[in-house]
Amino acid sequence: MAKRRYNRKRNSGERSSSPEGTVRRSGDRFSVEGYQNRIITFLSKNGRKPMPPKELATKCRSIKGSEKNYKLALDELTREGIIMQRKRGFVMCSVLGLFKAEVLRLNRTFGFIKRCDNDEEIFVPGKFLCGAMPGDIVLADYIESRSESPEGQVIDILVPSEAKLTGVIIEDGGQQYFLADTMSKTPVRIEDSDISFQPGDKVMAELVRNGKRHRDHRVKIVLVFGSSQSASVCAESLLALNGIQKDFPEDVQREAKRIAAAGVWEDDMKGRLDLREMPIFTIDSAESKDLDDAVSLQRNGSGYRLGVHIADVSHYVRGNSPLDKEALDRGTSIYYADKVIPMLPKELSNGICSLNPNEDRLTFSALMDISEEGELLSFKFEKSVIRSRVKGIYSEINSILDGSADDNIREKYSELIPIIELMNELADKRIECRKKRGAPDIEAKESKIILDENGICANIVPRTRGKSEVIIEEFMLLANEAAAKLAGENEIPFVYRTHEIPATEKIDTLKEGLSRLDVEVPHFSSVKPSHIAEILENAKGKPCEPIVNMMALRAMAKAKYQTEPIGHFGLALDDYAHFTSPIRRYPDLAIHRILSDLVSGMDKAHLDKRYAAFAQRASEHSTAMEIRAMNTERECEGCYMAEYMQRHIGDEFDGLISSVTEFGFYVQLENTAEGLVHINTLPEGFYSFDGYFALNDEYSDKSFKAGDTVRVVCARADVNSGNIDFELA
C-alpha cells in the first residue's frame, strides 16, 4: 500500500508535551494533520485489534482540542483507505492486508479493479463487488483464487465516481426499469426523469442513490439515443460513454478555419528543401481523405534513395494552442464502420495538411539511403515542400503489380509505373530483412463493415491486404525506425513506440498450449522474436494455424508509448517510434515538434528543458487514449456485426472454433463474425473443459477443439450487447 507522508514538524515557537511526539497546532487546537498523525500512531500500536471510537477520541484528546478537526482527520484517513471502521472500532488497513484500488470495468457477473500502488489488475466476482461502479476508489482485499490470476473482493467504497452508465429500458409488470450494459443482470429502478423514453430505448443514466448491491442502486435517465437494436445508435452511446466528442470546440474550429483559409504561401516555403519537381505520390485506400504520407524512390548507385514525406502538421498546430490541446486530449483518430472521428478538424486533416495531388504541401521528409540488400545505411530529416503527382489507390497499384491493370489505370500512373516496380523490388528486400532479424509475422483477421444508404450493416467481409499495402507498411517502418535512431543518437526527450518482451507466465502458457496442439516449440530459456516467428512457421498449413496465430498474439505484451527506447519486440527492432501519421496520432505530432527543433539547430540542453515533461505527458496520455479508441472501435464493430447477423437468424454457416471456455466455445465465420455456442446447447453429454482448447464428453468420444470446423445456425443476435449466439446445425 502506498505510504503517505505526514508533516511532523512543529510550528515555530510551539512546543508539545505529548509523549507521542510533536504535532502542529492552530492556536491551542490540533490541526487536521496533527490529529491524523496521532490516530495513525495509536492504531498502529494497537495492531489488528480494533480501537473503539470513544477510546481513540480520548487518546487523541479531541474534547480538549477541536472536535471538528478530529472528525475531518478520521474522514480523510478513511477516505484515503489508510484506516477503516469495523464493528468494534477503528483499525489500520495495512495491518489487515487491505489496499486501495480503482474499479476499472464491470461485466454482468464480474469486474476488475486495479491496485493504486502497483497497477496490478484483480478479478472480482460479481457477488463481491459491493455495488462498486467503474471509476470508484475502493478498499479491497484478496480472496482465494480459482485460477492463476489474482482475485479479490471490495470491502468498502472510499470515493464514488461520477461515472455514467448506458443500458436499455425494459418493462416488467407495467413498470419501467433500467438494465445496464455492464453492471448487473438485475434491472434497476428509475427515479423521476425529465425526459421521456420507452421500452427498447438505448439510454444513458446517472446514479442518484448508491446501494450496497448493484440492484439497490437508483438511476436517473439523462439521455435517450434511440433503438437499442440499431448499431449506429449503439455506437453513438459507446462514444458518449467513453467521453469521445465528435464535434470540436468553437475556438479550435475557428483556429482551424483561419489556418486553412491562409493556404500555403511562398514565405512558408523559405528554408525548405524544394521537392516539387520530384515524382512523389501518395498510396492509400480509395475512401481515404486524410493523406498524411507520400513516397519517392530512385536508384542510388547499386542501392536506393527512399523518401518518406509526411505532412508537416506541427507547422500548423503550435504547442499549447487550442488545436494542440484538443489534439492531445483526443490522442488519436477513431475509425469504425465507415465513420471517422478525427484528431484534428477536417479543415486540417482533409485540407491544408492532406497531401492532395497537384497542390503545394509542406512536409517533413525522411530521406534514407538503402543498400542493395535493403538495409538502412544512412538518413537525414529535412523540412520540405512537395507536390504529389497522383492520389495512388491500393487496389489500382495492386493491379499494376499483378498485370491486371486496364488502360485507364495504366494511363493514370504512366509516369510512375517504373517507380512502382522499383518500390516493389525494394519492399521484397525489406521483407527478407525483416525475416532475417526474426520478426514474427502474425496474421490476424480484420473485418470490413459495409453499410447501406441508411447506415445499416449490409455486409461483413475480411479486410484484404495486397502488395501495395505491404510496400507502404515497409517504407513507413523504415521512416519510423530512422526517426527513433535520430532521437537516440542525440539523446533528446522523445516519444518512442515500445513493445516489451512477453511475460514469462504468458510464454509458459503458450508453450503448454502448443504442446497440446502438437506444434513444435523451439528450445529457449529467454524468448526472442525469432522464437515466435519459428513457432508460426511450424504451424503453417496445419488446421491449428489460425489458433496458433491467435495464441501468439495473446502471449505478446501490449505496445505503448514511452520516453525510454526499450525497443520493439514484435518488430525485432531496437529503435522505433511513430513518425508517419501526425494527422491521426498525437505521438507522431509530438515527435515532429521535437525533431523540427532538432533539425533547426536547437541544442540538447534546450531540448531537454523544453520537451522532457511534454514527452512524458504525451506518452502516458496517448497510450491511454489509444486503448480507449481500440476498445471503442471493437465494441462498435461488434454491434454492427450483430446487426448484420440479425437478418440471418436461422441461416446455416461453416465456421472455425476460435476459442474454448468452460461454458462453451466461440466460432468465427468466414466473414469474421464470431458467436458463442453455449455448452447447454450441445448434444447430450457431460462436457469438461481441459483448460486450454477442448470440451470433451466424459461418456463418449465427442469432443470440440479449437481449430475444428463446425456447421452452425445463427440462433440469436443482440445489437445492444454485440453478442451473437450460434447452435450446432
684-711 b/e (C-beta count within 10 Å ≥ 16 → b): eeebebeebbbbbbeeeeeebbbbbebe
Q: Answer whether 124's CB lies under 8 Å from 111's CB.
A: yes
Say whether both 55 and 142 belong to one domain: no
Say whether both 483 and 524 belong to one domain: no
* Residues with pLDDT less than 70, the chain: 1-30, 61-65
CA neighbor of 723 nearest in space, from 665, 638, 656: 638
Q: Which residues lie across from 504 on neighbouring strands?
A: none
DSSP state for residue 726 in the 8-state scheme: E
What CATH number corresponds to the domain at position 195? 2.40.50.640
Kindly state whether residue 243 falls inside one of the protein's structural domains.
Answer: no
Strands (E), 357-482: 360-370, 376-387, 391-393, 447-451, 457-462
**Count of domains for the chain:** 6
How far is residue 361's CA from residue 274's CA, in Å, rounded to a whole number?
10
What CATH number corresponds to the domain at position 701? 2.40.50.140
Domain hosting 273: range is 250-498+567-635
436-446 b/e (C-beta count within 10 Å ≥ 16 → b): eeebbebeeee
- Per-residue cell: 250: 468553437
The dihedral through the CA atoms of 433, 435, 439, 444 has a sign that is positive
Say whether both 390 and 254 belong to one domain: yes
* pLDDT for res 30: 65
* pLDDT for res 63: 52
* pLDDT for res 22: 36
Residue 114's H or E segment, with its range, is strand 110-115
Tally: H helices and E strands in the chain: 18, 35
Pick the last residue of a domain from 536, 556, 576: 556
Say whether both 685 and 584 belong to one domain: no
Long-range contacts of 604-610 (CB under 8 A, 24+ apart): 604/490, 604/491, 604/492, 607/492, 607/493, 608/492, 608/493
Say whether both 303 and 405 belong to one domain: yes
Kindly state whether residue 7 falls inside one of the protein's structural domains.
Answer: no
The dihedral through the CA atoms of 455, 456, 459, 461 has a sign that is positive
* pLDDT for res 5: 35
Kindly state whether residue 233 falls inside one of the protein's structural domains.
Answer: no
How far is residue 586's CA from residue 620's CA, in Å, rounded to a whole number?
11
Kindly report the backbone phi and psi dihedral angles of residue 589, in degrees, each rounded to the nearest multiple of 5, phi listed first.
-65, -40
Kindly state whether residue 76 falls inside one of the protein's structural domains.
Answer: yes
724 contact partners, CB below 8 Å, separation of at least 6: 641, 642, 645, 673, 674, 675, 676, 714, 716, 717, 718
How far is residue 521's CA from residue 257's CA, in Å, rounded to a whole number?
57
Pick the last residue of a domain from 174, 193, 228: 228
* pLDDT for res 556: 93
DSSP state for residue 195 in the 8-state scheme: S
Say whether both 270 and 409 belong to one domain: yes
Kindly state whether residue 12 falls inside one of the protein's structural domains.
Answer: no
Q: Answer whether 282's CB lies under 8 Å from 294's CB.
A: yes
Say whether both 655 and 544 belong to one domain: no
Q: Answer whether 706's CB lies under 8 Å from 658's CB.
A: yes
Say whether both 185 and 273 belong to one domain: no
- Per-residue cell: 519: 506444434
Say whether both 144 and 49 belong to one domain: no
Q: Answer whether 728's CB lies under 8 Å from 682's CB.
A: yes
Kindly state whether residue 10 falls inside one of the protein's structural domains.
Answer: no
What CATH number corresponds to the domain at position 40? 1.10.10.10
- Per-residue cell: 443: 496474421
* pLDDT for res 62: 57
Pick the last residue of a domain from 46, 78, 95: 95
Amino acid (1-letter code) at residue 633? E
Say whether both 452 and 329 belong to one domain: yes
- Per-residue cell: 177: 426499469
How far is residue 433's CA from residue 248's CA, in Å, rounded to a whole number?
43
Kindly state whether residue 268 falls inside one of the protein's structural domains.
Answer: yes
Say whether both 414 and 546 belong to one domain: no
CA neighbor of 590 nearest in space, from 566, 569, 621: 621
Amino acid (1-letter code) at residue 336? Y
Please calculate the CA angle 618-622-626 and round it to the nearest 5 degrees.
175
* pLDDT for res 29: 52
Say whether both 261 and 155 belong to one domain: no
Kindly state whether residue 15 falls inside one of the protein's structural domains.
Answer: no
Q: Which residues lie across from 112 on neighbouring strands?
A: 105, 123
